[in-house]
Structure 1
């Protein structure tokens, strides 16, 4: 009974504690499930991370304890596997300019027709082709009409004869073939004269980073289109934009005017109207009257400043007016150049007089020519980099070379002179430290150029100062070399060997000789050397093989007897045992028997019957052949085989044009040589022991027995004889006035020299390759079927 009162008293005294305990227990029972879920989520995440890390860290130890459960295994089956995508190889272009995006400057496209291109087109090509990078003519060619002309730039014919679409055909061809090769494109018609030199200088000053759509000849001030007759100048970026809009341009070419159609096309593609001036340059034009005459109107137009400053002049009705305008503006440009030279000379004189030291104080030589300006990427001169001890890329076969010898002495001399000049100019507070960079370049037109980056120490501030110095070492002092006096009033004695096989060529040669030399009373004399083959009818018989040649020579001599012109001949009988006519020693036979018929001062020129005789060639022979001093050996332009060159065309020009398609300069041809009789006699006596002198027909037998004995030491031609003599200067150079038509070569007894000459004169490599491909294609089984 005493226990219960004690419990009741204890509860009454701790009632607040009991109530709190009950509330706590009750709250815990309610919130326990919620808190348990949250804690389980966090605990699982932490346990996963820690368990993952512990497993990765204890992989090696676990593998040891648990056997090979976690031991790595290498599967070598079908390994290694090929890459699904092979890496692409980097094919670098052939030229640096292609990789760097360097383009030529100016392309000129000319709209013409198949009837006008041979007149206006040829005249325009001859006045501008040598002053711009590329010229092409675009014509309509609906039929297979052949153009008997040759232009270096090229002619493109379109079968579509719609006149309004021709400008778009031209743009399409340009975008397909020359899109990334030029910075600017100038489009004109063939009735427009262009000052090409002024145009080229203009585009060199215009930035290619800006879209250029420029021209002149607008009909009024409200139109946005320029005249195609006056010329349109488009930049490369504009051509790129026009390329994607050509289809739209063709569909919207509804005007009869090329100016409107082409202008609308460019405006649609670029949203740029035609500008008459661009970046400070004005594209001006001058409209000529339909009745313009050069002789009557030039004095009046010369006083018009618009005529003198115009970039283009149009329309030009006659092709000869293009040449007259070109000659006039060339003369005006020459006068301006002479005035500029005079002004520059006066300024240099004044500068030297005002300088305290006088003329000797002028650092840059007054007479030194300017540096080389390359016309294309092939003419760029190379700069060689060097340091104090080494020179890099000195040649095509070495990367680096030790600087020694003459190169080291020369560079040290240039550096010492540059340092001395810098110290004298900037004072003694500059002290030379070292060479940073050095470059040198040899310019054949003036000498050796240097660019030096020198490091100096400024003694006042203690800082390092860099200076760039440009130095030029001229080739040498200009000297006047004494030369004998030569005039063009010297008689040229032509010696023409005639073989029976080529007597028809000799007849044609005499006709040209009479027209070019005998009619104009030129101081020349023709000596025919008739080479008789013992197997053919000889001289003195009624069936003389050269009877027609002799009769024509007598006829021409009688016709021009009053003018003092004459054609003579000398007959030589070749022995039957001689290799006729392929033996090279035949030149000595002819020369020995002919030279004795002339005086020692006579100028003798050996020639062939298949050559085109030209007056300018004879004048150069007179100027380049000097008695006792010089022999002239021209390199002729030889024609390729006609069946190979002209097989794609049915016409062959009577006059051989100098073009790589038709022939080449034959450096192995030595038959044409000019000398004086006295010089020949002197040089001939020096080799008389190796090659006996021929004084008559019977002496020819002696050459047969001796030519094999001294084959390795004796000269094989007149050119070789003059070379071995060493007493005369030999002028050997290409001669555009000497052109040889193709002649079949009869090479006997395995004459290697003759066989090589015959092979090289068949055609170019591309022509022969195409001939082989055509032959293979025509004889293939597919073509036979």
Structure 2
């Protein structure tokens, strides 16, 4: 207690002493004014509500254009413009005569683009027909003034890395030119070409051709006004002076290790040729010179024969270079083939046989003799060797004999007897492979057989850079041919299924027309089909579906499918898609979308790959027998067992019963399975194409071969209605039985090659 009091008493005394001093020093009114201060007088109501001194300020928004959307970024029309992507080369020819046509025909296909500028007064009928022609009118000025203005107006100076300017009296080697521009950079201002013999002349001569980079052409176009006052005796000299003064560049004949070789014909100095002789007479003599073979341009030309002779020579030179590179590549592959796990392939560089993904897709060989061929057809084994097959076998036989009977061949000096037999197989990676057995007779009369392996490789393949744009809103006409009363029930079921499809997709704005083309059908059946079409049109009115019944004439095409397409295209026009479908078809709505996407005018014809189901009399035989065996009626069950035992005992009776009795198929949905059917790659019975493409190919159909009609009475197509399906399941063909000599299946593929 004493310790606590001794600590608290000084603190309390200090506080009390401080309070007393504060009260004594500070006046009393200062600390009381806080509570006693009167409230401030509020302003009068009149002053608060008076607005005579107010000033109205209206702030207007800046005006905006109605066509410009706020916040939208201006983008280039093409992606290449925004990315700065350009093509490699533009060749500009200053035309004055018929040599322009010859040069366009020879070098036009070997360069990215070739543009012709010709005086309008010199344009004749041959020149006017060229699609890349740009005529101009000089209007009393030199030609380069109008030509540079045309290049600026066409924006050609912005779309290419290199520009090659030449008159029509100069031939340019397109292969050396492309090799030159592919090995040098374009991002420097440079003018490349040949110069005259004068030491002080720094201009490129137009007769040798002038190669300008993109920056140099940009400078020429921007400063082209300098060229308006140039005076010269000729247009070519004025153009040379314009390029020199506008770009302020001296001509160079060597750039980044690449040399510009100009073969000058007139004079003995540069080209080493006699100017008194024409070019086409001296090409064979000049061909011995390696300098001439490496030349980039040759001038001057005197006739179209000169241009043709030079182009033929330089094409042969380029082919020789390619062959030499191929030989070097073959030798290199042979030297490295020992280190490859799969070993060397034959021929060198050609891929080995592709491995099948499963045992059901193993490639099959086709056996052939000199008169017959045994194809992989489920309905017929042997065919007469004719048509394209015979041409193919004859070519292979000739090549095999040439190889075997050569000076170093195994059959040299032997007497050829005949083709014993052979095999062929197509592989998508290799091409067509052949094994041919040749029968010979030696000097003692003994038969000798030699087997020769040959391959026809896939050549001339190229990537398709530009595919036409396709939309799904194209009108579609479904053509369904009906050729007998047996198909009436099938077409009625198809129409009923399509009615359910169109009702499920109501509101579709795309027009779909269903056309049933009939021939050799009774009037009662026609009445039923017509009633179904009317009912379908009424039910599918919301989905833009139209229907029509076409009666084919008796004298129409023997193949009913061709006759139906003829009548439909003639009736509805050429500018729509026609889908040829079997009356036994079972398709879904998504299949029609794929038809619209995969059918391209003047570009592509769509042949879906159907899934062909085995005949129900074979597939459903065990199920039908089991159902009969499990019947509740014991007496009938015993009779059925006795009947089946008798059928098994008598093979001919079994075949006759299977042929005459139709086993009913169950109502289960068809499943894509190897036990139910297979994808038939040789089935071309369903196709989609534009009417104009059909008319172009229609003339190729051989009427004499097309008299074997297609039996599609038992054909049925059903599509797998799942979202995970792949393209081979677009159509599933059920109960397909085709005539073995079906002309339609064999002629349609050849018609659209």
- Report TM bin, short chain: 0.3 to 0.5
**What TM-score, normalized to structure 1?**
0.40
**What TM-score, normalized to structure 2?**
0.41
